[in-house]
Structure 1
Amino acid sequence: MKSVKTYCLAALFAGFFYAQDMVAQFSGQVINFHLDRYNSAPNGAKVTLHDGENLGTFHFRGWTPGNEYQSSAGFGVDVTGTPLDGYLPSRLSFYTGGFGLIERMTILENGNIGIGLSNPAELVDINGNTRIRGTRLFLGLPGNAATAGGEALTQTGWDCAGLPVSDALAINYNGDFTGGVYVEGPGLKVCGELKAECLKAHQHVIAEEGNIFALGGSGVVVNCSDPGQGDFIAEGANGDFIARHGNFTAEEGAVTARQNITSTQGSVVANQNVTAQNGSVSAAQNVSAGNNVSALNSISAGTSISAGTDISAGGNLSVTGTGTITGNVRVGTIFGNTGSHVLAVGGSMIAEEVNVKLQADWPDYVFTPEHQRPTLNEVESFIHENKHLPGAPSAAQVAQDGLPLGQTQAMMMEKLEELYLHVIELNRKVEQLEKENAQLKAVKE
């Protein structure tokens, strides 16, 4: 995957041993944290867990006047059945208590949540009193055999003009909204999830600080009679998607716009493609797609741009953070086969500095006794026959395969070091000749 990633693990381990105040942070696009538990046989082999065994428990403890750590809260996981190949049933339990940990809440394998009991029989099963602070709440099925029941939850009141409003929120005993939902004033705020088979608005649907999700169906999301698989399509005159504070997220589909896709303070994320057919894709944080990210104009992100397959921009590709690409990169119009080269540029490059880190050894081996450098006569003979230095590529090879910068620098250093050795050897011979010449002059005098 072509991705930009940030990992922060060293700080965690350093904090365990060297810090009194520790803060651990894990960052990245995908983070998996595993705690593995198994039984051991006498020979050291791993043995399958059994029903009722504990997978692990996290304790939150503090130092007390008794010069010991006392647990105050925690959570743990226990096996709740017979493990099979690819199947491990379990339960998640949460504990609190000043003098000793007491199980307060449990989540079973089937998703049932129990508060005050260990084996919830329903999706939410509470053992104890429940307080809802409000004006009116009716639960139950009032009525008789003739009426077959009544309202299970209802709310009445007055609107902003002081007029009575009946059934502002009314849920029938069979789960239907008989009177609809009436909201006037600041609006309807949902801190969790809001799900609907069809969400219609007379004017706007706006997520200023949150997310808009589309799940299920086979058509287009905006088609309420056949909800979509997760494609966001803007067909208007502008055709833009704009999230001023939140994110664009398509968990099972694509984000597509005729013009621009913009998240001014969040991210643009899709399981499949992110496509701006005639515009640009921009996000203050991340742009991420399971398949392709493409735009007719530019693609920009404040943190990272990642795609499972290709990133294609007709204009500029801009990332203000660190860029990491695990595949190959093509820049400009390139003719011919680029082979296995990670970076292919159709044109010139300019840089203040290029640092080439070679996989092979740097040619300091020239100065070892084992290295046999060619004599100057051998070099001269090779040049006359091949028209280039020994070990250097020919003009035809460079024209066909290009010039590998790192290998060329290493080859040039090898030739320079061999040249120095030849010069040193010649200098010794010159010094010897000068010495002998001086002796001959002294004899003649």
Structure 2
Amino acid sequence: MNKKCLPLAALALLLNFFTQEIHAQASGVNPELYMYRHNSAKIISPTGLQVGDILGTLQWRGLTAIGEIELGATIKSFTRASSPGSLTADMIFSTNNGTSLTDRMIITPAGLVGIGTLTPSFNLDVVGNTHTSGRFHGRIHFDQLSVANDAPNTYTDEAYFEQKLRSTLAVPAMAGVNDFGGVLSLAPGGGAYDHQLFFGQDGIWNRREQENNGSWTDSWEKLLSTGDIEGTPNRLARFLPPDNPSSKLGDSQIFDDGTNVGIGTVTPDAAYLLTIGGDTRVTGDVAVDDQLTVGDDLTVSNDATVDGNTTLNGTLDVSNNTNLQGQLDVSGESNFDQRMKIGASNYGTGYLLSVGGKVIAEEVRVALQASWPDYVFDNPTPDIRSWETFILENKHLPGVPSADEVAQAGGIELGENQRVLLEKVEQLTLIIIEQQKQIDSLQKQMSTGKQ
């Protein structure tokens, strides 16, 4: 190979310190430029390279003023290791920031590239922020285990992947769940909240905090399940408590096919919007604007208001007020602990049932607490003359309330009225019997006189 020695004026300063040659082949199929570093004389007993020896430096300088030449950037190669027949070296790229020359990037003998660090551990090891305007292909590396619960203000304008212990981060977990997990920290900056995602055995958890805070105060919340979100068609999902080891969504008791809703049943009656397959307890008010049909017992702990008709095939038990605007059809028993009114504007004071209209029944049974008037037959027969005097003075029978008294009392008591009427019937019966005896005696006397 035709070679020639090219003295470089730019490297004159380096020649004062090192004995070296720069060789170049300026033309041909394989042009070359190389620096040859050796210690002491080249031919007479040369000394081998030592670790850290500079193999060569390329410098870029510029005239900044008359008589002033400044260094802008360099590429240096340092010996990493050398032995007979073997040489490894680094290549360091440096730039001038205006005040000093700063090392920016290194390529190690193993091909590791470091930006912002001279000790890279990966093929590309970047210390500092990184911006990519195009696509990113390949794997994202997780840092090795970090046991610290790093504060939000330690993450700045970055997305950071780490391996963490959920016990250190206070992520909720049931017994038996693996303590290890991956953490993605998102710190957008600019006053935005920092977010962390913890990827654990039981799903994905999230927490957030203001970017400048020195600790995480927001609690962890589970985001996704440990499996596919599957369930029975038309069944509403059932959410498990946060301390459950599995976050899968299961079936609830509510069925909804978009037309009919069923609670406790997957076959709601097509004639009704809501079908409940079991006991139902309502602790608040219930308002029904149309008909209410109950096939079994109905128990209401509070007020019940029905604007339409009501049909009960079972037992109705209402602990508080009941307001029915339509018809009430009860096939079973009904128990009312309070007063009841039908068609009346007010409840009658002292009465359990107030009816503002007529009542029709095949039979009405009144059980009086007072004695039935059989005592009439144990007493003397009333004097019809004294009754006449009383009637002429009071305009009503003795022992029977007057019209004014009935009006003042707001009506008559059916049971008491029947008792009084029966008493008068029995008294009148005794009077008739007495009169019949007198008639029979007069007839006998008249028959005797004629003879």
Give TM class, smaller chain: 0.3 to 0.5
Q: Could you say which structure has the greater relative contact order, defined with CA pairs below 8 angstroms and 6 or more residues apart? A: 1
TM norm structure 2:
0.43
* Structure with a larger share of its residues in strand: 2
Which structure's CA Rg is the greater one?
Answer: 2
